[in-house]
Structure 1
Amino acid sequence: MRNPVVAALLASAFLSLSANATDLLQIYQDALANDPQYASARSSLTAGQEKSVQGRAGLLPTIGLNGSDTRSRVESQPDIANADRNFTTFSNTWSLALSQPLFRWANWQQYEQGKLSVVISEAQFAQAKQDLIVRVGQAYFDVLAAQDTLATLQAQKVAISEQLASAKRNFEVGTSTITDTHEAQARYDLATAQEFAAQSDLQVKRSALQQIIGKETGELATLKAGVKLNSPQPAAVNEWVSSAEKQNFNVVASEVAVEVAKREIERNRAGHYPTLDLVASTGRTATGGASSTGTGVVKPTTIGVQWSIPLFAGFAVDSKVKEAVALQEKARNDLETNRRSAAQGARQAYTGVTSGLAQVKAYEAAEISSQSALDSNKLGYQVGVRINIDVLNAQQQLYTTRQNLAKARYDTIMNGLRLKSAAGTLKEEDLSEVNTLLQR
């Protein structure tokens, strides 16, 4: 019969210890509020949305009001023929001017670029949100895996200590050799060293999760015992790859960036094109004072069109067009790079899910076999047909199998999230589905 202490330690590795454990969705909500990377992406989105307003401004009229108010005093020295000539003049002027672009090709292209820049910002923010889901999930399950490792080593240490005590008793009564005692002692010392390393690794993993959510995590909800994982749907890797090549948000942003680069070429070519504006102005000028020019008020009002034809700009326009063409080619290559990366990510994640499911199934069978092997070795040791090292090896095999089983489940879940992220379909609802696999 299994020692109740060992059973309790093993249960702590794979079952929740607290009814108030924090689950994956709670961690994700904390990350939405506190993760600095996500906050930076949100600010970038807000800034990017202003590009549309800035681009539209080039198509709207500009209105300006100018004015001045001056006072002048003139003093002259008297001569024999004339008396003193000291006088003061003043001038008050203001003008209101309006200019409405009628044909400015560069401004129109800038307006179109502004709208496209908003699309890029939205795609980048959507990708940042998917990245946050993946980062939170990875950090969460890294903590669970580290907890499993630590609890497994602690359970193994307890079991080894029992075998060590048994070996010592058998040696004292003469039913075993000192070799059994030395072997059990060596295993116990190794388990102690591994336990310290596992404690350090758990602290590191908790710190990584804390960095995302900005606070201590406390106890985390763990996977339900014997949880069953589903295969990816659709069950064809080519469909996932096709979705990744079209819907991945990095690919979408790159596609729009190519269009922006195309508009940039047209915007620079507009340096050769004429411009036409509607202009209108009105104002008032008042002058006065004891001067030869007299006093009066003038109210000029004008309206008309103003055109300009560029003739030569030192080859600057041609150079900028060549630069924009090269940048468009760069944008196309970046698009192809992102498309291939998304496709490769989808293939890797799909393979990770399918192979992970196979590993989980194999480890579940291995767990049953390892448990049977341990029970048989314990019975054989009691009747004298097995030695202490056989029991220790069987114990280590069982604990390692259980740890690997849990890790395979975590990796399969994460590959499922990465697969949907690569395909551009990852949403909070997918994280909610994963959360249903946890027990609080």
Structure 2
Amino acid sequence: MRKKFSVRFLKTFVYVGAVAAALAAPKSAVADNLSDAMIGAYKTSGLLEQNRALLRATDESVAVAVARLRPIVDFAMTASHRYSRGISTFGFRDHDTNGLDVGVSMEWLLYDGGASRLGQLAAQETVLATRQSLLDIEQQVLFSAVQAYVNVLLQQDTVRLRGNNLRLLREELRAAQDRFEVGEVTRTDVALAESRVAAAQASLTESQGDLLEAKATYIEVVGNPINVVAGQPPLPQRVASLQAAESVAMRNHPSLLARQHSVKAAQHTAASTEKNLGPSVRLRADAGHTYDLNGNGDSDTSGVSLTLSQRLYAGGGLAAARRADIARLDAERGALISTQRSVTQSVAAAYVSLEAARASLVSSVERVRAAQVAFEGIREEATLGARTTLDVLQAEQELLGAQTARVQARANQALAAYQLLQAQGLLTAEHLGLAVEIYDPTLYYNLVKDAPAHISKRSKDLDRVLKALGRD
């Protein structure tokens, strides 16, 4: 019986050594990498499509503002019948009049103190603000792809490590059973080993469920299932200091730039409302032809008028609108201050998180190194009879625990690095150089900014653009 136990004992050491070598060996991987995840998210994100459409709708507000400075031409055709009855010398007389009036009229705002022009400038600033908001949405979409990819990688590594742990605990259980057979341990030791195997099996099942959930989230974010994970993502270039990161954010963060454009838009809107309190000049012209269907003869009419108007009293409505726009301007300025502070705080938090994650990874690597040395030493001592099988496998579990902590630390470092990139406003497809066709918001804007008429060639080009976008 002693000989049988010794053979089991040696087999256990051989197995443990093989597992340790497998854990230390580099992974072979080819397949989806972080760039693939971000490219998929950029191409298939419904959130991006939604906000691109909202930007195009905002572009049209510039066209509407431009149209206010142009003449408005109307065509009207009116068919009429009029019946009258009056007293005549010989009693009552009935009279019918049938006519057809056809006319064209034109009204053109010549002067309003610059209110319409200021409204156009406000619309342009709103377009620029919406473009920056779209970039902020893009950052959120790409960071979601980073999170999804890193989480799949983390859960795969966790499943692998917990699977190895379960196999080692089963070996420990077999060793405990063998030792119980020869009377070296009690039933309590076997029961403890059985409990640890059951707990390891539950942990593995939980990790496998987490992996399935992570893959489902990846499909939701990226738009396609993930294949083999290529490994740890490359980290962005390290920033020199917190001050340097904050300086970049103040120049580039989309939410901050959007708020700055919103302040300018509010300034133009407030100025436009004030100009509306002044006089306006309108040119009116009309031409028409009347067909007398009773045969009494047709007639032509035409006329031109120039009207200077000044509203003297509107119940206080105009003054209230002016005060409301001034209040909105103050609100936008306050929001700008809040956004500046929020961006600064986000950069600081992301920078500190990244530095902490790096320090944690260094500690985890050192822990793995120390656990590896301890495991090898205890294994060597066991060959000399100074350690038991349980001592060896417990040391191996400590090694696996250290490796699990290292995997988590690497994931935290990757997330913190890209979160800092997002906090600086640099997590965009253009800045990252992703292999995608970058959405250019100026293409649609350039087609609509001059307010093309419905029958113009440019309007027909716009119809084709909308069909290509699937939004006819």
Q: Normalising by structure 1, what TM-score? A: 0.86
Shift of 1:142: 0.9
Shift of 1:311: 0.4
Report Cα offsets for 1:339-370 as digits up to 9, x if no partner: 11111111121222222222222322222221
Residues 299 and 432 from structure 1, CA distance in 2 versus in 1: closer, same or farther, beyond 3 angstroms? closer
Tell me if structure 1 keeps the 8 A contact 2:236–2:418.
no
Residues 176 and 80 from structure 1, CA distance in 2 versus in 1: closer, same or farther, beyond 3 angstroms? closer
- Which residue identity does 1:99 align to in structure 2? E
| Residue in 1 that maps onto 2:238 | 232
Tell me if structure 2 keeps the 8 A contact 1:168–1:181.
yes
* Cα distance in 2, alignment partners of residues 58 and 111 from structure 1: 9
- Which residue identity does 2:61 align to in structure 1? K
- Which residue identity does 1:421 align to in structure 2? Q
* Cα distance in 2, alignment partners of residues 327 and 4 from structure 1: 71
Unaligned runs of 5+ in 2: 1-13, 435-472
Shift of 1:317: 1.4
What secondary structure is seen at the aligned counterpart in 1 of 2:226? coil
Residue pairs, 1:222-371, within 5 angstroms: 222-223=231-232, 232-233=238-239, 235-289=240-294, 295-371=296-372
| Residue in 1 that maps onto 2:11 | none
* Cα distance in 2, alignment partners of residues 66 and 214 from structure 1: 53
Shift of 1:25: 2.5
Alignment length (residue pairs): 420
Tell me if structure 1 keeps the 8 A contact 2:139–2:427.
yes
Residues 111 and 231 from structure 1, CA distance in 2 versus in 1: closer, same or farther, beyond 3 angstroms? closer
Residues 76 and 318 from structure 1, CA distance in 2 versus in 1: closer, same or farther, beyond 3 angstroms? closer
* Cα distance in 2, alignment partners of residues 431 and 150 from structure 1: 31
* Cα distance in 2, alignment partners of residues 198 and 334 from structure 1: 44
Shift of 1:237: 0.7
Shift of 1:47: 1.6
| Residue in 2 that maps onto 1:197 | 206
| Residue in 1 that maps onto 2:57 | 47
Tell me if structure 1 keeps the 8 A contact 2:172–2:390.
no
Residues 350 and 10 from structure 1, CA distance in 2 versus in 1: closer, same or farther, beyond 3 angstroms? same
- Which residue identity does 1:390 align to in structure 2? D
What secondary structure is seen at the aligned counterpart in 2 of 1:60? coil
* Cα distance in 1, alignment partners of residues 74 and 321 from structure 2: 31
* Cα distance in 2, alignment partners of residues 38 and 5 from structure 1: 49
Tell me if structure 2 keeps the 8 A contact 1:254–1:338.
yes
Tell me if structure 1 keeps the 8 A contact 2:154–2:407.
yes
Residues 250 and 110 from structure 1, CA distance in 2 versus in 1: closer, same or farther, beyond 3 angstroms? same
Tell me if structure 2 keeps the 8 A contact 1:183–1:389.
no
Unaligned runs of 5+ in 1: 434-440
Residues 205 and 211 from structure 1, CA distance in 2 versus in 1: closer, same or farther, beyond 3 angstroms? same
* Cα distance in 2, alignment partners of residues 422 and 230 from structure 1: 13
Matched, 1:15 2:21: no
How many percent identity over aligned positions? 22
Shift of 1:181: 2.9
- The CA RMSD measured in Å over matched residues stands at 2.9
Tell me if structure 2 keeps the 8 A contact 1:417–1:430.
no
- Which residue identity does 1:207 align to in structure 2? A
What secondary structure is seen at the aligned counterpart in 1 of 2:298? strand
| Residue in 2 that maps onto 1:436 | none
| Residue in 1 that maps onto 2:415 | 414
Shift of 1:110: 1.6
| Residue in 2 that maps onto 1:60 | 70
What secondary structure is seen at the aligned counterpart in 2 of 1:49? helix
Shift of 1:316: 1.0
